[in-house]
Amino acid sequence: MIKIGIVGGTGYTAGELIRLLIHHPKVRINTIISKSNYGKFVHLIHKDLLGDIKNIKFSKILKEKIDLVFLCSAHGQSKKELIHVPEYVKVIDLSQDFRILNKFKKRNFIYGLPELKKEIIKKSNNIANPGCFATSILLSILPLATKNLIKKSIHISAVTGSTGSGKKLSNTNHFSWRNNNISTYKIFKHQHLKEIIKNISEIQKDFNSEIYFIPYRGNFSRGIISTIYTNNNLSIEENIKIYEEYYYNHPFVHISNDYIDIKQVVNTNKCILFITKEKKKLIVVSVLDNLLKGASGQAVQNMNLMFNLNEDCGLRLKSISF
């Protein structure tokens, strides 16, 4: 059994990790750390876990020898937490701290998008889990980059649920503001752009196009829908073939022949793509669950690869459907 520690155990991503890992056949959770809730039963904070995780209390420190730590603390906290993690312990960091600057002391972090770096992840001990928007957008354009087909600017609009802002309340994520409302934010300067550009540039060496990204706050709790378009001279059939061939051996990315919606993927680790074309514009629509394929589900997917398990182990999940 893989012995697991979770640091920063009270937030949305930690809650999703716990829900996945308590049913994972190859995992045992040894420690869940929360300094602010030290000594409390985990199910008193994640109340849906009542009956599933009765006897585990939040700890202050990693109490037992463990194989892997998931870092679920706020952005900017991972270096402080890593000081207390022995070097032999593998790490998956769900913050943005090592997605760009990927080194900390003797640890070298690999960008953990399995559809991009699966074979490298299998040999790695330290993973920087991608951002939710970045996952949705990169999965929409990776096949194009591998064929050096991104020659013009990329335009993106994407809507995320309120859980993308984390559990701590702010003026823009409580119910009375989000309900019956929608808004843009960080237009053309969202923090996930850096990791998107970095990874595209590593694949398509001559990439120098502009990416225009408009994020939206949606009036729903979880999920992301992204719409990407760019100039493209291939036929729609040629483009779809490129995508199908690229994702052939990736179990969580699927190509739909019909228009797609968020409910198809909420509560799953799937990303579904819909590809169409209008004149010279290739349009790719992407949907995923920001807390699963965009965060905790992808972290478990990376864990499976790191420990030579089936990639979908513990991740065969059902969508909410309606």
Whether 119 contacts 135, CB under 8 Å:
no
Catalytic residue among 72, 132, 271, 313: 132
Whether 126 contacts 148, CB under 8 Å:
no
Give the integer Cα–Cα distance in Å for 295 and 192.
13
DSSP state of 60: S
CA atoms within 13 A on the CB side of 100: 14
- 201 φ, ψ to 5°? -65, -30
Give the integer Cα–Cα distance in Å for 6 and 17.
8
Give the angle subtended at the CA of 271 by the CAs of 24 and 232, to the nearest 5°.
155
176, β-bridge pairs: none
Give the integer Cα–Cα distance in Å for 276 and 284.
7
Give the integer Cα–Cα distance in Å for 219 and 201.
33
Does residue 304 sit in helix, strand or coil? helix
- Burial group, residue 312, by CB count within 10 angstroms (0-12, 13-18, 19+): middle
Catalytic residue list contains 132: yes
Distances (CA, A) of 175 to 46, 162, 219: 19, 9, 8
> Which residues participate in catalysis according to the annotation?
132
